Structure 1
Amino acid sequence: MTSTPGWFRTNREEAAEPPSGGAGGQRPRVLIIYASAGAGHDGASRELAHRLRERGLLADCVDLADIFPWRLGRLLRGTYHGMLSRLPWIYGLLFSIGGNFSRAAPITRALLRPVWPRVLEALPADTRAVVSTYPVVSQIVGPLRREGRLAVPVITYLTDFAVNPIWVSPGVDVHCAAHVTTRAEARALGAGEVRVAGRMVSAAFRPGDEEEKRRVRERLGLPVDARLALLVAGSWGVGAVARTAAEIADTGVAVPVVVCGRNTALYRRLRRRGTGYVFGWVEDMPALLRAADVLVENAGGLTALEAMACGLPVATYRPIPGHGRANAATMARAGVATWVRRRADLGPTLLRLADGTGGQRQRSAGLALFDTDPAGVVADIARGITASATPSRLAEAGPAGRPPLGPVPVDDPVLRESASFLETSVPVEGAVPAEVRAGLAAATPRRTLTRWVGLRAGMARLWTGVDQPHRDGGNRPANRPDRRG
């Protein structure tokens, strides 16, 4: 590990008080490497860094896009955004290939090998642990750890509920999972040590009471006595948002309140249509979540977690291809969200979640995710309190090489069912277990092969818009709702 190079930009907290703890009297430093692909990964990284600093550690965050040379990180980020916004079926196809092709992860590692020196150069000399919050990052730091070029422990914080094989990399010491279902999927894919460490969001996301809900609605100009369904689609506002808003309104069960994020075109389109109440970029998201009765989302991302922390039941509807559909399946199996698969089920599901006992059970399951703090796991490893003696390796195929699952509450049949498939499914070497493969198949768009006919024209559209300013100017719309009758 060397000094930080000039090209490396990091969100670093400089020590204001005398250093204490750790080796040589220095506070342990943790380097968190994320990817600015939406708000989920960098949001989790910022919150982890904040909590580590509260525990007395030093914490730096770095964007993978800043590590890649020749502005490749920015190009890849723009390509990803372009696929989700314009050709989501291509992203779903690539996601499915990565999940079902056994050589996808090794090929990814080989392609990323030229980035190794820049990652090593980015590590401050006093780094005591490296945390990955993005699957591609794990495919870089895991092999570095396994080959002995990275001398400190590596932790992967699984930001997704569903685990794609690209998340699992040899050499990672510990994987932090949200739930026993996520842990089971990671172990089935060959991960070594996987700890159910819960989730973390800002402390501002907390349950509210009826009086607070009323005050927020009055302040935002929302109907005080109506049942409100808050519709979100990430910071980029991707997916069938306009269609979903119209279908929520058509149920007559709830009034849609749509958050468009930075998608100004979507914001203007919904305002013209007069569908429900429309917000652009929202700064006070905790208050808006506490004003709603149910959340409708399409990707299983950060806002879904924030809603769970607020005690708001979550419904996944028309999930985006790829990780959106995979997360929908895993969250539903974990009991923290409901996947609405048919339009006819949308209204009854919203009613049940907002007013029924099903919503109460889901609220309890969601709030339970925050009973433990992943920052505690990372802090202990950085301080040397608990860490693997040697870098962990992918579990060998077969029951002899598969580490035990650990205790599962016997009084919770949902959790036992979620974890039990590891005991009944023995994968052959290099294969994805059937249950995990089925979850990945849920991420594959329908009629994918027939859409290859339009691939050339579609790719032309994609690359035309890669990393370009939004056609509407890219400015954030005002943070206020708009109701058109």
Structure 2
Amino acid sequence: MAHAGSTTPRPAAAVTVPRQRVATPGAGRVAIVSASVGAGHDGAAAQLARRLAAHGFAVDRFDLLELLPARLGRAVQEGYHRMLVRAPWAYQRIYAGTERAGGGGPVARALLRAAEDRVLHALPPDTGAVVSTYPGASRVLGNLRLKGRLGVPVLTYLTDFSVHPLWVADGVDVHLAAHAVPAAQARAAGARDVRVCGPVTGPRFRPCDAQGRHDARARFGLPQHSPLALLVAGSWGVGPVRKVAHELRDCGAAVPVVVCGRNEALAGRLRADGIEHAYGWVEDMPGLMHAADVLVQNAGGLTSLEAFASGLPVASYRCIPGHGLTNAAALDEAGVSVWVRDPADLKAVLCDLIDGPPGRQQRARGLALFDRPQDEGPAAEIARVHRSGLADRSRYPAARRHPGPRRLATTAAAAAAVWACAVGTGMATSYDGPGLAHAIGHGLDLDGLSAHDSRTGVHHP
């Protein structure tokens, strides 16, 4: 999940991210497939596209949810959101179950198979490599590679510090990791070619001087001489945000500045509680990070990377289930964030991070993630794989014939029927409603068993 928040309310999240093309002739063409689930996957895709364009590539971006049949993308997005808000225990159970077991459910496989043709035919014929920033997209692309229907390299860019086994997809040629910790987890999950290439964030996320800090606080109307703790909860503002905001205020270590993303109702409740600096969607997140002394987060996604790039120390606290907990553990292992497990430790940890040796050490480790030559970053690795694929096309299987429209329509109709039953029932006591929505959207079985992970390309049939 990514950062969120705003002085100007942002429209409700659309189901799809419009296809974007950067028509820069020269190096070749790369496609990026993401998903508008939260904001972190799309945020990584946008930054990869920017960097690839700077390398001379033409870049096409696609949203996997947009390419699902029968407009099922909205069901995936809304179901996942509803489950995180109303039944986080169900998400934790599914997430933990899929870490332990293998094999995908038949409904999940059918849905992802139904997306294969749409993904394949969305790719321009001169595409030289495809990059996934979402586990479901990796599965679809990997399956196309394994079937010989996609004839160019496929890469997965791991957006999180923790790597769920679903990230490692059979058929994917290369997995790109921001740090040695996620790289090791990817290898343990079965990935063969894993390359550490550093994180990607926007260019405005960088350290500032004392004047920049003063100006940022003035723009947001924040106190100039008090320590500030920036509390973020992803683009949807999920988790026990209200409780944490009160704990931050009451512990006395820092003034809470809360970003609630698209959850404007939560921002309103916080202001009614007396939390003066509570925002919805914030366009100027670099400015807020320049104003703050420490970041408190609960998901460990893109916002944490942006804080590292800004020289802002990070604490993980009261994390959301699933990837929030595993990201907190991985960030803590890497030494770039502190995981506060006991509320009694909150004040002491914040004081250490704001004005103590632990904070200075963590800032240095976070900034070091971005301290690498231009030719060692993610875009450079993608360019290398692109070149290797173009140089040796003979090693990729020939494309296979596109199945007839009747077969696709049948699969889509079956998936649509399942979705209608699953999402329409609302939240029940088991894995119907949002639980099933998330399970299918990520390629999971209905009982919380893990999907068959996908792994390696663009010959069109």
Superposition TM-score tier, normalisation by shorter sequence? 0.7 to 0.9
> Take 2:430 and 2:381, find their aligned partners in 1: how far apart are those partners?
44
Between the aligned partners of 1:104 and 1:293, the Cα distance in structure 2 is 44
- 2 CA distance for matches of 1:153 and 1:461? 36
For 1:338, the equivalent position in structure 2 comes to 338
CA positional deviation for 1:85? 1.7
Answer yes or no: is the 8 Å Cα contact 1:12–1:61 preserved in 2. yes
- The match for 2:38 is 38
Mind listing any 5+ residue stretches in structure 1 that lack a counterpart? Answer: 1-6, 21-26, 392-453, 467-485
> Do structure 1's residue 377 and structure 2's residue 364 form an aligned pair?
no
Cα distance between partner residues in 1 of 2:40 and 2:139 = 19
**1:456 aligned to which of 428, 448, 452:** 428
Q: Which residue of 2 aligns with 1:208?
A: 208
The residue aligned with 1:365 is 365
Which residues of 2 match residues 63-212 of structure 1 at below 5 A?
63-104=63-104, 108-109=108-109, 111-212=111-212
Percent identity for Structure 1 against Structure 2: 52
Contact 1:216 1:288 in 2 (8 A): yes
Number of aligned residue pairs: give it.
389
Aligned equivalent of 1:238: 238
1:54 aligns with 2:58: no
The answer (yes or no) to whether the contact 1:231–1:296 under 8 Å persists in 2 is yes
Displacement of 1:110 in angstroms is 5.8
What is the correspondence of 1:412-427 to structure 2 with a 5 Å cutoff?
none
Q: 1:331-362 CA distances to partner (integer Å, 9 max, x unpaired)?
A: 10011111100100110000111111111111
With normalisation by structure 2, the TM-score equals 0.80
Query: What's the counterpart of residue 471 of structure 1?
Result: none
**Aligned to 1:230, what secondary structure does the other structure show?**
strand
- 1:298 and 1:318 in contact (8 A); partners too: yes
Partners of 1:249 and 1:276 within 8 A in 2: no
Q: Kindly indicate whether residue 228 of structure 2 is the aligned counterpart of residue 228 of structure 1.
A: yes
Is 1:274 aligned with 2:246? no
Contact 1:264 1:280 in 2 (8 A): yes
2:223 is the counterpart of 1:219: no
SS of 2:70's equivalent in the other structure is coil
Whole-Å Cα distance in 1 between the matches of residues 79 and 175 of structure 2?
A: 28
Any conservation in 1 of the 2:129–2:153 contact (CA below 8 Å)? yes
**What SS class does the counterpart of residue 152 from structure 2 fall into?**
coil
Matches of 2:60 and 2:48 in 1, distance apart? 10
SS class of match (1:198): coil
SS in 2 for 1:102: coil
Conservation of the 8 A alpha-carbon contact between 2:99 and 2:164: yes
Deviates more, 1:104-113 or 1:53-62: 104-113
- Cα distance in structure 2, aligned partners of 1:115 and 1:316: 36
C-alpha distance in 2 between matches for 1:342 and 1:388: 54
1:110 and 1:196 map into 2 onto residues whose CA distance is 33
- Kept after mapping to 2: 8 A contact 1:153/1:387: no
Letter in 2 for 1:375: A
- Please give the secondary structure, in 2, of the residue aligned with 1:383: helix
For 1:294 and 1:109, how far apart are their aligned partners in 2? 43
* Residue 227 of structure 1: how far off its partner (Å): 0.8
Q: Partners in 1 of 2:148 and 2:280 — Cα distance?
A: 47
Q: Distance in 2 between matches of 1:77 and 1:281?
A: 18
Report the counterpart of residue 473 of structure 1 in structure 2. Answer: none
In structure 2, C-alpha distance between the alignment counterparts of 1:179 and 1:13, rounded to whole Å: 28
1:295-374 equivalences under 5 Å are: 295-372=295-372, 373-374=377-378
Please tell me the residue identity of whatever aligns with 2:19: T
How has the CA–CA distance of structure 1 residues 146 and 356 changed in structure 2, closer, same or farther, with 3 Å as cutoff? Answer: same
Secondary structure of 2:176's aligned partner = strand
| Cross-structure match for 1:10 | 19
Change (3 A) 1:285 1:297: same
The separation in 2 between residues aligned to 1:191 and 1:106, in whole angstroms, is 24
AA in 1 matched with 2:185? E
With over 3 angstroms needed to count, the CA separation of the structure-2 counterparts of 1:260 and 1:188, relative to structure 1, is: same
- Coordinate RMSD, CA, aligned: 2.6
Aligned to 1:289: 289
**8 A Cα contact 1:316 1:337, kept in partner:** yes
Secondary structure at 2:69 match in 1: coil
Structure 1: how far apart are the matches of 2:213 and 2:230? 13
CA contact (8 A) 2:69 2:114 kept: no
Letter of the 1:456 partner, please give it.
A
Write the distance in 2 (CA, Å) between the matches of 1:229 and 1:353.
Answer: 10
Report the CA distance shift for 1:79/1:462 in structure 2 as closer, same or farther (over 3 A).
Answer: closer
- More RCO (CA 8 Å, sep 6+): 2
Superposed displacement of residue 8, structure 1: 11
Contact kept? 1:98, 1:104, Cα under 8 Å: no
Q: Deviations over 1:142-192 (max 9, x none)?
A: 121123211000000000110111101111111001111111111011001
Give 5+ residue unaligned stretches, structure 2.
1-15, 397-425, 439-461
- Aligned residue identity for 1:377: E
The code of the aligned residue for 2:384 comes to D
Distance 1:297 1:379 in 2: 33
Between the aligned partners of 2:107 and 2:359, the Cα distance in structure 1 is 43
Shift of 1:286: 0.4
SS at match of 1:363: helix
> Which whole-Å CA distance do the structure 2 matches of 1:102 and 1:459 have between them?
18
Kindly indicate whether the alpha-carbon contact (under 8 Å) linking 2:157 and 2:176 is maintained by their aligned counterparts in 1.
Answer: yes
The 1:99–1:110 alpha-carbon spacing in structure 2 relative to 1, beyond 3 Å, is: farther
Shift of the 8–188 alpha-carbon distance from structure 1 to 2, 3 Å rule, reads closer
Q: Specify whether residues 358 and 387 from structure 1 end up closer, same or farther in structure 2 by C-alpha distance, changes over 3 A only.
A: farther
Equivalent residue, structure 2, for 1:411: none
Secondary structure of 2:275 counterpart: coil
